[in-house]
Chain A
Amino acid sequence: MSVHHASEENNSERRTFLGVISGLIAAGISAVLGVTIGRFAISPALSSGGAETWTDVGPLAEIPEGKPTKHNVIVSQNAGWGEFNSQKLVWVLKNGEKITVFTAVCPHLGCTVNAKEEAFICACHNSKWDVAGNAVAGPTPRGLDVLEHKIEGDILKVKYMDFKQGVSQKEVLS
């Protein structure tokens, strides 16, 4: 222990030095903690939106010819500690080699599109599309949204996506 004198109170240089060191310590701890917390908090924003996700529609052989059929597909979304699987609807139309996959979300306001007498309708606001997905009647701003598909082995796969509703151009939501 050093010997202290009352006069040390007036030693302004030493006062400043101790004050500066104290301030540096506080700033250092805050900086380390702040950077750590910042990375911790914003890491989901920095991660890439996830790889392309293909999901199975089903065996190609089971899809009927020339008639739109409805299929449930699973869309998996990684969010934090969970992989959240949800079911989505798609319409598949097979004409020989040509396959078209539509999302069942109405491009107007998001109701579920149905098929009737080999054409598509949306019961919410009476939009209609022909079997190729072209808009024929009702308030729909565009044709049915086509989803990218591929065939692996004998399984039909689709890349499920959501599109912006109410606009005439197909726009991917991500």
Chain B
Amino acid sequence: MAEKSSKGSMLMNWLDERTGIRHAMDEALNEPIPGGSRWAYVFGSLLLFLMILQIVTGIVLTLYYAPTADHAHASVAYIQKVVPGGALLRGIHHYGSSAMIILAIAHLAQTFLYGAYKRKRELVWGLGVVMLLIIFAFGFTGYLLAWDQAAYFGTKVGTAIAGEIPIIGSLQQKIMLGGTDLTTVTLSRFFTTHVFLLPLALIALAGLHVLLFRKAGPAGPYHDRDNHRVDRFYPKQIFKDSVAMLALFVVLAYLALKWPAELGPVADPTSDYLARPPWYFMPLFQLLKYFPGKFAIIPTVVLPAIIFGVLFLLPFFDRKGERNPFKRPLATALLILMLAGAGGLIYLSKYQDRHNPEFAEKLKQQDEEMHAFFKAPFQPQQIGAKTVAVSAKAASNDTVAPNAYMESCADCHGDKGEGASAPELLGVAAKPNRAHDDLIKILDDARAYGLKKPMPANFPDLKDEDKKAIVEWMVKLK
């Protein structure tokens, strides 16, 4: 033992001579905490932990994720349904984003209630407010990446809101979209923002935040009852932080496994999907209902600008030394009002959706579609033609399609059955469940054969002899 520890200290001496690690560790671990360690102080460390967790899970998700409109959804479905540990990692990342917002608000609220933003800590506070905005931007840009119905239509609405802002709105929207519509270019720039720009900004600001916080030192409690007590960061506060981190990690992993992060069917721009934002944008969504037309800028620009402006500048006009929340009734009441207001708006939005029969029905149907897709086994995306030289083969088909085919089928399946927006019909009769009689039955009830939209369920306009003519021609297609 003795020999081992001396070897250890030799290594330490060697390292210390070159890095000054002893002094750095001393600075980091022995920071005094006036008034003693507290559970109320865990939020900052939790946010740092969560930021690292989000970065780590985010990086590994990109091992399989493909940021293009054609493949994004398939790649996310693959992560969720096939890759070992994929559901857990994606789930932690998904719920982690919500946890980030909740904990950032809790951290701000604690600092606010303890009056810890006051003199000497104005910049620490200001950086925190900016980071809250960045966290919301993470949520907004990350939401699109799965490219399912909710992602597509949610972002469609989100970017439209950005476009309604007077003067700069329309340019801003075009920059966000990378054009005039939500396309694969939009997905690329949301991806770039989400995985490169925002993380760089957040890491830089968080570093500065911690640095300036260490420079100013912890503010301690708002009262002086515990003045006699001073803990060091290590081990008491670190212990509390660690326990909180473990609890957070267990909760995130539990949520990820028990209620996996949702993924609906792939985005279909032609559908009438009813978009609902994630919970943290719901207060804004609900407020928009009360400010129609040109007043929409009140909840989208004016109110957020006032809230974040006031928050940012708070330490500059609230310059009294008083820190006790009970002796700052206005400040405390304002915080409670804001949090209750946001909570109330979320509740109201859910309540109205539940009690509007039309919306409730549509949302229920969308939810069922989402779960149906989620349960269905993963289908790999087909890249490249699965059949050889289709057009050449189709061209060699010298039989002419019957008129009924040209009228009812050719637009989607091609004039010679070579396929277009719908699959090719060449060689169809050789496939399972596609014999002559099956094909006739498909024309009467396509759904019974598992064929999905846009294939019509049946063709009421076709006479029986028309159907026969079509199928007789089809089975000859090689």
Contact = CB atoms under 8 A, between A and B. Distances in A.
B167 interface: no
Interface stretch (B125-133, B233-241, B401-409): B233-241
A40 B381 contact: no
Interface residues of A, number: 35
Contact of A80 (B75, B85, B241): B75
A15 B71 contact: no
Interface string B55-76: 0100010011010000100110
Given A15-B235, A40-B86, A25 B242 contact: yes
B246 A25 contact: yes
Given A25-B243, A29-B246, A82-B74, A43 B383 contact: no
A44 B380 CA distance: 15
A18 B88 CA distance: 30
A6 interface: yes
B85 A76 contact: no
A66 interface: no
A21 B84 CA distance: 30
Contact of B83 (A9, A16, A43): A43
A72 B89 contact: no
Contacts of A172: none
A22 B387 contact: no
B386 A41 contact: no
A39 B60 CA distance: 11
B385 A9 contact: no
A74 B387 contact: yes
A84 B236 contact: no
A71 to B, nearest CB: 8
A78 interface: yes
Given A40-B63, A40-B89, A76 B235 contact: no
A48 interface: no
Contact of B71 (A33, A36, A76, A81): A81
Contacts of A41: 60, 63
Given A22-B235, A41-B63, A82-B382, A73 B89 contact: no
Contacts of A26: 242, 245
B329 interface: no
Contacts of B330: none
A134 interface: no
B245 A25 contact: yes
B239 A18 contact: yes
Interface string A1-44: 00010100100000110110110011011001100110111010
Given A29-B246, A40-B86, 17 more contacts: A15-B235, A18-B236, A25-B245, A25-B246, A26-B242, A28-B246, A36-B88, A37-B89, A39-B85, A74-B385, A80-B64, A80-B75, A80-B78, A82-B383, A83-B381, A83-B383, A87-B385
Interface of A: 4, 6, 9, 15-16, 18-19, 21-22, 25-26, 28-29, 32-33, 36-37, 39-41, 43, 71-74, 76, 78, 80-87
Give 5 closest A-B pairs by Cβ, nearest first: A81-B78, A18-B235, A85-B384, A22-B242, A40-B85
9 contacts: A18-B239, A21-B243, A26-B242, A40-B83, A40-B84, A40-B89, A72-B388, A81-B77, A85-B385
Interface of B: 36, 53, 56, 60, 63-64, 66, 71, 74-75, 77-78, 83-86, 88-89, 228-232, 234-236, 238-239, 241-243, 245-246, 249, 253, 378, 380-389
